[in-house]
Amino acid sequence: MSVPSPPVDVVSGFLGAGKTTLLRRLLELGAGGERVAVVVNELGEIGIDGQVVEGLGFAERMVELTSGCICCQLDAAHFEVALEELCEELRPDRVVIETTGVADPGALSDRLGELGHHLGSVVTVVDTANLQRVLAEPVGRAQVAAADFLVLSKLDLPETAGRPATEAALSLLNRRGIVVDGPVGEGGLAVLFGFTNRTAAPDAGPVELDVESFAWRSERLLVRRAALDVLGDLPAAVYRAKGVLRFAEASVPALVNVTAGKLQTQWEPILGQEGGSALVFIGRGLSEYRAGLLTALDASVAPVASA
């Protein structure tokens, strides 16, 4: 591909958890100006209007929305080819894939990695009104365990288990995942799916979910091990970190993504070595850690070679 391959986010959750509701909000509210391709099981469940996009051989149906998003179904028998075709022809900034209610997102994540796609985040919607039934199913537990973000649905229903009890039960399977109350608004969607520029936006200030962000930049090359050590040991208060790093030991830059403590890197030759490095951090209570993180990243800058 002549542009960096887009990150792929996975939306998981047991049957009836509310995945479609979350995706409908994403499509209605847009994606922070990004062009997003949302791959769903059944377009009819979304209930959207739009213009059918013609020309993709393995897309069963594709609709372009006024928000700039694309909503589509991919031919399951040719999933790998269809996904590559989607990325090549539509050039989305990211792809969001909804799994079936009985799918293990870990298997899809592994499959995407084998195809060379950068996994953004795994978002699992948890049905708090049927929590015991979900956790009694092996696939329900697997969906919880794989999540970077756990979105709690149906908290407004009388039969909900409630946030404290749900969070306690989920923590037995996943202590890393970040718990988010549904329904999720525009700011929350930005956190779940990481809607920021690849080269890190200026300090954005507070956004929904009581989170904040700050950015770091350097025009000089970095020591790879030192920079990755910082990103591999971020405090739990950092929900997401992402950006572009250029290393003294490498001829091509790397896209980096940290989601709920999970660090991923991907070489991207197309970006070139010009432009320096940039990262953006998103989380809650970051003021306590900001100075230390900036100092540690500054210390990862490679020394200037003597003449």
Domain containing 262 — which CATH number? 3.30.1220.10
- Do 125 and 32 lie in a common domain? yes
Task: Let me know: does 216 contact 293? Beta carbons within 8 Å.
Answer: yes
What is the structure's pLDDT at 108?
Answer: 83
Would 2 be classed as within a structural domain?
A: no
- Mean pLDDT of the 97-124 span: 83
Task: Supply the angle between the helices 224-231 and 287-299 in degrees, to the nearest 10.
Answer: 170
- Do 179 and 72 lie in a common domain? yes
- Mean pLDDT of the 84-97 span: 87
Tokens 């006024």 found at: 66
Would 56 be classed as within a structural domain?
A: yes
- Do 51 and 143 lie in a common domain? yes
* Domain boundary residue, one of 170, 193, 216: 193
Task: Let me know: does 271 contact 4? Beta carbons within 8 Å.
Answer: yes
What is the tens place of the pLDDT at every residue in 240-272? 898 899 999 898 999 898 988 989 888 888 777
- Do 36 and 79 lie in a common domain? yes
Would 28 be classed as within a structural domain?
A: yes
Q: Has residue 11 got a pLDDT over 80?
A: yes
Work out how many domains the chain is built from and give that number: 2
pLDDT tier at 47, thresholds 50, 70, 90: low
- Do 176 and 234 lie in a common domain? no
Q: Which residue type sits at 217?
A: R
* Domain boundary residue, one of 193, 222, 245: 193
CA distance linking residue 281 with residue 259, whole number of Å = 10
Distances (CA, A) of 168 to 162, 172, 211: 10, 7, 22
What is the structure's pLDDT at 270?
Answer: 77
- Do 74 and 162 lie in a common domain? yes
Q: List beta partners, residue 262.
A: 259
Q: Has residue 203 got a pLDDT over 50?
A: no
pLDDT over 90, % of the chain? 41
Question: Each residue of 182-221: b (16+ CB within 10 Å) or e?
Answer: bebebbbbbbbbbbbbbbbeeebeebebebbbbbbebeeb
Query: What DSSP string describes 9-60?
Result: EEEEESTTSSHHHHHHHHHHH--TT--EEEE-S-HHHH----EEPP--TTEE
Least confident of 73-87, 137-151, 191-205, 293-307: 191-205
Burial of 236 (0-12, 13-18, 19+ CB in 10 A): middle
* Domain boundary residue, one of 158, 193, 228: 193
3-state DSSP call for residue 279? strand
Would 144 be classed as within a structural domain?
A: yes
- Do 38 and 176 lie in a common domain? yes
What is the structure's pLDDT at 105?
Answer: 85
- Do 213 and 275 lie in a common domain? yes
Would 202 be classed as within a structural domain?
A: no
What is the structure's pLDDT at 218?
Answer: 95
Least confident of 165-174, 239-248, 271-280: 271-280
Would 35 be classed as within a structural domain?
A: yes
Q: Which residue has the higher pLDDT, 45 or 205?
A: 45
Which distant-in-sequence residues (6+ apart) come within 8 Å of 136 by Cβ? none
Q: Which residue type sits at 56?
A: L
- Mean pLDDT of the 169-194 span: 90
For residue 81, give the CATH number of its domain. 3.40.50.300
Burial of 22 (0-12, 13-18, 19+ CB in 10 A): buried
Q: Per the confidence metrics, is the pTM higher than 0.85?
A: no
What is the tens place of the pLDDT at every residue in 58-68? 777 777 777 77
Q: Which of 63-67, 170-174, 278-282 has the highest mean pLDDT?
A: 170-174
What is the structure's pLDDT at 200?
Answer: 40
pLDDT tier at 50, thresholds 50, 70, 90: low
Residue ranges making up the domain that contains 40: 8-193
